[in-house]
Structure 1
Amino acid sequence: MSRFAAPIAEQIWDMKYRFKDADGSARDVTVEDTWRRIARDLAQVEDTPDVWEDTFFEALEDFKFLPAGRITAGAGTARRVTLFNCFVMGTVPDSMGGIFDMLKEAALTMQQGGGIGYDFSTIRPKGADVLGVSADASGPLSFMDVWDAMCRTIMSAGSRRGAMMATMRCDHPDVEDFIAAKSDSARLRMFNMSVLITDPFMDAVKADQSWDLQFGGKVYRTVQARDLWNRIMKATYEFAEPGVIFIDRINAANNLSYCETIAATNPCGEQPLPPYGACLLGSINMARMVADPFDKAAHLDVDALNKLVATAVRMMDNVVDVSQFPLEAQQKEAKAKRRIGLGVTGLADALLMVG
């Protein structure tokens, strides 16, 4: 039986990823059972499932390949949960009905365990006219408070709280309120927040020019670009929020830019996605790829690495077909583009092992 490297690792497996019945009795007796459950589930879409189940188990064994939390917790459990960690939701319409339709979609996604990102730049600013009801708009931040309350109410699948990302363009009239929002320690606790920074804004910052805050073709206010940039930096220093997303750079570098426009990321910011975009994640454990660790002959086993990466990519691609999706639009988007994010973990350990 594989040993956990530390008691805390076993504790986290038991709390977050071990398959248990509703009464708390463990279906996964050992971590091998967890690996077998994942391998069997992801092999079911293969022509020869038995062969691939063993191949997938071998990749998981001894923590060589670590699928992300949603896969580890949900695969093979027959629960109505998604195996995707990251979602960006659809574009929020600038209407009361549309906004609350989007809130419902967010709640359904979170219930199945997905973290979500939203661009709130599409909602008209505070004080703007609401035609037909002779009222002023309450603005995107007030609706973010509603999202925040929803997220606190709906616990994500398993032992895990919901997570959200909110973005707002650097030229939105409410961007200054957005930047300052986290200075209130009780507000928007379920959100990470980032300002969408454009190339023209950075040009204006460098040239110390003025910057128009506008919505729907109407300029609401003009500020100094450098003042706005400094305000973001000060808030980030003091409250760790907001972050910045260089959105024009992301769209220019996106190899799918011909068929999608990105305006938000998943909650942790590592995965920029289009509306209804979804991504599943996994990591190669580099510490397990070192042959003869701490020895003079210590080296990275490149053949083993190549083989493991190929298997991991195949497993993650199968997740696209095996997973549940909270919304049909998410399923269509995932199956059309089959996005996966394969990264590395244990790099520092691997470097130590090879000296």
Structure 2
Amino acid sequence: MYDVNQEQTSLSFFSQPIAERIWQTKYRYSTAGQVIDDTVQDTWERVARGLAEIEAPSDQSATSAAFLAAMRNFKVLPGGRILSGCGTKRNVTLSNTFVMRTIPDSVDGIMDTLKDAALTMQMGGGIGFDFSTIRPTGTHVRGLDCLAAGPLAAMDIFDTTCKMIVKGMGRGAMMATMRCDHPDIEAFIVAKSDRTRLRNFNLSVMVTDAFMDAVTEDDAWDLVWEGTVMRRLRARDLWNSIMKQTYATAEPGVLFIDRINAHNPLRYLETISATNSCAEQPLPPYGTCPLASVNLAQLVIAPFSPDARLDVGELRNLVRVAVRMLDNTLDVSRYALDAQWQQAQNQRRIGIGVTGVADAIAMLGARYGSAKAVFLLGSWMQTIQNAAYQASALLAKERGTFPHYDADAHLSGANIQNLDPEVQELVRKHGLRNGTLTTIAPTGTTSMFAGNVSSGVEPIFSTSFSRVVTNPDGTKSSERVMDFAAWQFSQMHGPDTPLPESFVTTADLTPQDHVAMQAAAQKWVDSGISKTVNCPEDIAFDDFKTIYRDAYNTGCKGCTTYRPNNVTGSILSL
């Protein structure tokens, strides 16, 4: 394990060069050519002080110390926006995730939404849109006596704007969703067949329960606009169109939108129709949510031994601290739009998640995707969920509930009903400070910063691989990287000692292993999970289709797959 203390001033704590590189290019604070953060300790102290600013003056020192202790040794990893922006003079948001307004079906409305999106992206926010509200291509535009260009034409404009605003961020800065009954859904599905089009968007089809039933029963499916059936087709044909495109190009993903809404703790306040850019955070119009992850790889005691175990007590403590950190983030952060600030205050959504899951599982001698790994992940997420709700209830006692809190409606949700009885009682007594509490986000960059622990709930990609890194000037370079758990094992037993059998990588796993892990975590997560089901290139199409059905049947809120193809390429290579 790392041994970093407050007095350390060198960079020796970085186990691999890429970790130091990530810190220097992404999170180290420098301004006007002057370096402010000499060490990563300075970065943590800056963030801790910044997040503690809203505390009472007499409490700021102790709270800052608690935040610092949680971050030290890379145990709690605040989202990248927090690490890079908190405690600085930069005009940036500290929230990773946004969904924009419901897009009005008018030129003025579309362009006003585009302006809001540009301002949000300029401040560092990743954003999502529902394009289902824009009239289909070829329908009549009253007053102009012309035919509508349709939602994909609007998406092209948004894509160009994103490219201008966030040059160098890479693809996936935005999410576009569309309902499965929109008349332009077929064009939406194949929109990225052109490898030059919509490269700053991720695409997801919002699939309803009714549609899934129609696919099962081989029923007809209506494409509807403003209550009028525009076209009727076979549900299975539309489903196969989604599957074939995803099989070929890894997009679009699928969101099980009725489940997302039914299991939303704030379902009594809103109907969700979009997510942030990586799909882990379903949000209402103007919704936002800051993120942080607990690094499970740093909580394993006696790794690679018969006595290996996760320090569950420390896990609970870190979650409690992280809840306060993110609740403070909502007040410390800047926002591009007043509506975003208001929504953040009214609902106070936060997202506590995990990273280093696969590394922790390997350290405990389990195989990712096995029954033991599924049990371990489920138990860890149950612990996190209960600790987060306990912390939020105690924060509500101290600071008050979030303004839109409705006790009866909130307490009736499955999220509350699944909690331990003593935590339920605490919530009944004090309410909750935060509308949602748990999310599992992708942690690609922050996981590399932490010594290249396995990202989020993803498996170990490979024990050693090359990663393409975008440099500050926009150029790309390749870095050799070693998985954190494999590196730690080599430090303990020597580089020539064969790795234990628990070290399975993406190439060793079946799609069912991936789905089982996602489903195990989802039961204990308020929001969503960013997870990619990796598939072998030679997987049969009929077998590929079952992955999405399995994800639906096991309670997942969405599904995204990746099969090697010539369109998307990859930033990782063996």
TM-score (norm 1): 0.96
**Aligned position for 2:55:** 46
Question: Hey, what's the Cα distance between the residues in 1 that align with 2:219 and 2:237?
Answer: 10
2:27 corresponds in structure 1 to: 17
Moved more, 13-22 or 142-151: 13-22
The correspondence of residues 126-137 of structure 1 with structure 2, limited to 5 A, is 126-137=137-148
Matched, 1:108 2:119: yes
Corresponding position: 1:35 with 2:37: no
Match of 2:203 in 1: 193
Q: Quick one: percent identity of the two aligned structures?
A: 59
Post-superposition shift, 1:46? 1.2
How far, CA to CA, are the matches of 2:95 and 2:320 in structure 1?
20
Letter in 1 for 2:55: E
Q: How does 1:1-355 map to 2 (within 5 A)?
A: 1=8, 3-23=13-33, 25-47=34-56, 48-155=59-166, 160-161=169-170, 163-355=173-365
What one-letter code is carried by the residue in structure 2 that aligns with 1:260? E
Contact 1:16 1:160 in 2 (8 A): no
Structure with larger RCO (C-alpha < 8 A, sep 6+): 1
SS in 2 for 1:146: helix
Q: CA deviation at 1:350?
A: 2.0
1:339 aligns to what SS in structure 2? coil
- Determine helix, strand or coil for the equivalent of 2:51: helix
State how far apart, in whole Å, the 1-side matches of 2:18 and 2:240 are: 41
Give SS of 2:190's match: helix
What amino acid is the match of 2:330? Answer: V
SS in 2 for 1:121: helix
- 2:308 and 2:227 map into 1 onto residues whose CA distance is 62
- 1:311 and 1:255 map into 2 onto residues whose CA distance is 22
Match of 2:441 in 1: none
Would you say how many aligned residue pairs link Structure 1 and Structure 2?
352
Q: How big is each residue's C-alpha offset from its partner over 1:14-53, in whole Å with a ceiling of 9 and x where there is no partner?
A: 1111111133x42111100100000000011112111111
* 1:295 to partner: Cα distance: 4.1
Q: Cα offset for 1:296? A: 4.2
Distance 2:88 2:75 in 1: 22
Mind listing any 5+ residue stretches in structure 2 that lack a counterpart? Answer: 1-7, 366-574
Alpha-carbon distance, 1:5 to partner? 2.0
What SS does the corresponding residue of 1:236 show, helix, strand or coil?
A: helix
- The Cα shift of 1:81 comes to 0.5
Distance 1:351 1:173 in 2: 45
Letter in 1 for 2:241: R
Structure 1 residues not aligned, in runs of 5+: none
Give the letter aligned to residue 101 of structure 1: D
Write the deviation string for residues 108-153 of structure 1: whole angstroms up to 9, x where unpaired.
0000000000000000000000111111000000000000000000
Whole-Å separation in 2 of the counterparts to 1:218 and 1:352: 54
**How far, CA to CA, are the matches of 1:316 and 1:38 in structure 2?**
12
What RMSD, in angstroms, separates the aligned Cα atoms of the two structures? 1.3
> Structure 2 CA distance, aligned partners of 1:178 and 1:351?
39
TM-score norm. by structure 2 comes to: 0.60
**For the Cα contact (< 8 Å) 1:208–1:224, is it kept in 2?**
yes
Q: Over residues 32-79 of structure 1, what are the superposed CA-to-partner deviations in whole Å (9 max), with x where a residue is unaligned?
A: 010000000001111211111111111111101000111011100121
Q: What is the deviation of 1:340? A: 1.1
Distance (Å, rounded) in 2 between the aligned partners of 1:324 and 1:21: 19
